Amino acid sequence: SNCNHLAMLTTALGCSRALRGLGGRAKRFCILSEVDLPTSLAGSKFVSVRLHSAAEQLKPSDGRKGEKSIGVGDRGAGLVYRDGRPSTSQAFAGRELEAQFPRAGVWVVKIQPPLDVSSDSAGGIGRITPTTLLLSDRRWGFVRFVREEDDGHFPLLRCALSEARQVAYRYAEEFEDDGQRLRVYTEVLPSPEQMGF
C-alpha cells in the first residue's frame, strides 16, 4: 500500500541521513542523502521487481522437445550492452555474496536494454536478441538482469527507450517482501550529477 511504501521511504531517508555522518563511506555504497533526493519522490509511481540471481538469469532455459537449451549468452552474438558484455556467472555470484541486502537508503540505478548485434539486425537469419535489461549501480556492486517475462520489465524498458541514448537512470531502493525486491521510481529523474555513469 502507499502508506506502507511511504513509511519505508521515510525509513530509507532516515538511514540516508544517518549515513551522511559517515562521510566518504556512504558514497562508496552509492546511497543518496535526504538532501540529494527530490521531495516529489515519496508520492511518485514505482515498479517493484523481484531480484533473481544474475547467474540464474544467465543460465540456459530448458529446451523444448527436439531443441537445444539456450541461455541469454547463446542468443545471436550474445547480449551486449553499452557498457560491454556481461561478466561471467562466477563473477556475478561473487558480487551477490559480498553484497549486503537490503541496502538502507535510496540510490540511482542504471537501466540498459541490450544493443541489437544479432545476425537479424545485419540482414541474416538468426536468433532475435531478447530485451533482457541490465540493472547496475555506479560502482557495479549491484548487477541484476530483468528478463522479458519478469514483472516490471515493460515499465523499465519504456524508461530506457524514452531516453535519447536508450539508457535510463532512476531512483531505486532494495526491500524484502517474500524474497529480495527492488523498487524503481519510474517518473522522477535523478539530477544530472547523479547520472552519466
Q: In this structure, is the dihedral angle defined by the CA atoms of residues 141, 132, 57 and 178, taken in order, positive or negative?
A: positive
Query: What 3-state class would DSSP assign to 86?
Result: coil
Give the number of other CB atoms < 10 A from CB of residue 192.
8
Look at 176 and 8; give whichever has higher pLDDT.
Answer: 176
pLDDT band at 168 (very low <50, low <70, confident <90, very high): very high
pTM of the model: 0.70
Q: Residue 79 pLDDT > 80, yes or no?
A: no
HSE-CB for 186 with a 13 A CA cutoff: 16
pLDDT digits (tens, 9 = 90+) for 20-78: 333 333 333 467 887 778 888 888 999 999 988 776 776 666 655 555 544 544 444 46
The pLDDT assigned to 10 comes to 45
pLDDT digits (tens, 9 = 90+) for 108-140: 999 999 876 555 555 555 556 678 899 999 888
In terms of Cα–Cα distance, which of 107, 96, 98, 105 is closest to 30?
Answer: 107
How does DSSP classify residue 190?
A: P
Q: What percentage of the chain has pLDDT greater than the value 90?
A: 30
Tell me which amino acid residue 105 is: G
pLDDT digits (tens, 9 = 90+) for 6-30: 444 444 444 444 333 333 333 334 6
Which pairs from 101-104 meet CB under 8 Å and 24+ separation? 101/174, 101/176, 101/180, 102/173, 102/174, 102/175, 102/176, 102/180, 103/29, 103/31, 103/142, 103/173, 103/174, 104/11, 104/12, 104/15, 104/16, 104/19, 104/31
- Over residues 178-189, mean pLDDT: 93
The pLDDT assigned to 1 comes to 45
Q: What percentage of the chain has pLDDT greater than the value 70?
A: 58
CA dihedral 28, 30, 35, 37 (to 10 degrees): 180
